[in-house]
Amino acid sequence: MFFRKDPRKKALVERALQQVEKMLWDMQDEDKDLSKLKLRKYQKTHFTSCSCPKCLEAKRKNNPHIRGILEDGFKVYVGEGTGDED
């Protein structure tokens, strides 16, 4: 991986992993069942009603990929139930 070449990027990833681990421990302390835990990556783009220059250009060219990314992150889904049933 390219993180080995850049220690700053590696440090950022390690810090993010520590925050995720703390969040999961907090969820477990709240008696959440983490056996059905799922992480999903997502990217949120501008709304279709947005009138910024990028979105206007995307509408003019009829190409939604021109829209800029607003957020890049992940969502955590925790299944319901005790985790004993399949």
Look at residue 82 in the predicted model and tell me its pLDDT. Answer: 47
Beta bridge partners of 76: 39
Chain-wide mean pLDDT for the chain? 80
- pLDDT, tens digit (0-9, with 9 covering 90-100), for 38-80: 888 877 777 778 888 888 888 899 887 888 777 777 777 777 6
Give the residue-averaged pLDDT of 4-32: 88
Give the residue-averaged pLDDT of 18-27: 91
Cβ-contact 46, 52 below 8 angstroms: yes
Cβ-contact 51, 58 below 8 angstroms: no
Look at residue 61 in the predicted model and tell me its pLDDT. Answer: 92
Look at residue 67 in the predicted model and tell me its pLDDT. Answer: 81
Give the residue-averaged pLDDT of 21-45: 86
Look at residue 80 in the predicted model and tell me its pLDDT. Answer: 64
- For the chain, first and last CA: distance in Å? 36
Distance between CA atoms of residues 36 and 78, nearest Å: 6
- The DSSP code sequence of 34-62 is GGG-EEEEEEEE--TT--SHHHHHHHHHT
Distance between CA atoms of residues 2 and 54, nearest Å: 31
